[in-house]
Amino acid sequence: MRYVLLILLTMVAVVFGIAGLRGHLSRKPPVEIIPDMNRQFKLRPEAADNFFANDHTSQLPPPGTIPRSRPIQTLSGPVYPYEDAPVNTGFITGTTNFVATNPLPVTPALLQQGREQFEIFCTPCHGALGDGNGITKKLGVMPSVANLHDPRIVDMADGEIFNTITHGKNLMGAYGPTVPVQDRWAIIAYVRALQLSWLGSTNDLPPDLRAALK
């Protein structure tokens, strides 16, 4: 009996020694003990697969096709993403002049959306206040970051800001591929609100609030 116990204990120690505890860090891919239908013969996004010529599962739409989409509700009615309209391009239709004001109705909800998106995509460099004092400035890793309260940007047409976000400018990268059109206009609306918060004076307040301040 003693020997049986000893053998058993040795085996337990060996298994434990080799397999270790739950949760230990391992470089080896997980073993699927009962693989069954875990991995199916289907394409999953962003995977390598030789079904398409370029060996990716995620493909760009073929040239000339238009993605199924819903229209964007603008001040001048619904606009589809393929239309040549200010909301899609930042230009006044048929010209190369920037549209002066936001084509989307500026509502509290849009400003809130703009704030959220601004804080995701813009604050790392431009800072939460838009003054160009983001974390990159604090670490001194970027030579120049625009201060969004600069008169040059305050006076800029909304369409030009849209164009800058979409295609980038100087060292700033293009955010068109990652930030959808509505979010870009929401960011612009929020940037305008930020600018107002710096440019405003007590004279902008309604009389009763102004009296309360004094």
Partner 1 sequence: MPVIFPKWTNQLPFLIAAGLALAGGAVTAGVTYYFTPKYSRVGYEPIQPVPFSHAVHAGQLGMDCRYCHTTVEKSWFSNIPSASTCMNCHNQVLKDDPRLALVRESATNGVPIPWVQIHRVPDYVYFNHSVHVRRGISCVECHGRVDQMDEVHHVQSLTMAFCLNCHRDPAAFIRPESKVTDLGWQWNTNADVAAEMQATNGVKFVHDWRVQSLQNCSACHR
- Closer Cβ to partner 1, 56 or 149, answer by number: 56
Helix (H, G, I), strand (E, B) or coil at 139: helix
The residue within the footprint of partner 1, chosen from 29, 63, 94, 108 (CB under 8 A), is 29
Indicate the residue type of 205: L
Q: Please choose, out of 35-43, 94-102, 192-200, 203-211, the segment that lies near partner 1 by the rule CB under 8 A.
A: 35-43
Helix, strand or coil for residue 103? coil
**If DSSP codes are grouped into helix, strand and coil, which group holds residue 50?**
coil
Q: Please report, as residue ranges, which positions from 114 to 173 form the binding site for partner 1 (by CB under 8 A).
A: 116, 119-121, 124-125, 135-136, 139, 141-143, 171-173
Q: Is 67 in the site for partner 1 (CB under 8 A)?
A: no
Selected binder of partner 1 within 2, 17, 42, 50 (CB under 8 A) = 42
The contacts of residue 176 (CB under 8 Å, 6+ apart) are 165, 166, 167, 184
Q: At its nearest, how many Å lie between partner 1 and the CB of residue 179? A: 8
Number of residues that bind partner 1 (CB under 8 A): 50
* 81 is an interface residue for partner 1 by CB under 8 A: no
Told to check if 4 binds partner 1 by CB under 8 A, we report yes
Contact between residue 101 and residue 158 where contact means Cβ atoms under 8 Å apart = yes
Inter-residue contact 131 to 148 (CB < 8 Å):
yes
Indicate which single residue of 17, 38, 63, 64 sits in contact with partner 1 (rule: CB under 8 A): 38
CA–CA gap between residue 179 and residue 113 (Å, rounded): 12
- Asked whether position 23 contacts partner 1 by CB under 8 A, the answer is yes
Q: Name residues whose C-beta falls within 8 Å of residue 51's C-beta, 6 or more positions apart in sequence.
A: 43, 57
* Torsion, CA 118, CA 120, CA 125, CA 131, rounded to 10: 30
Q: How many residues does the chain have?
A: 214
Binding site for partner 1 (CB under 8 A): 1, 4-5, 8, 11-12, 15, 19, 22-33, 37-40, 42, 44-46, 48, 56, 116, 119-121, 124-125, 135-136, 139, 141-143, 171-175, 177-179
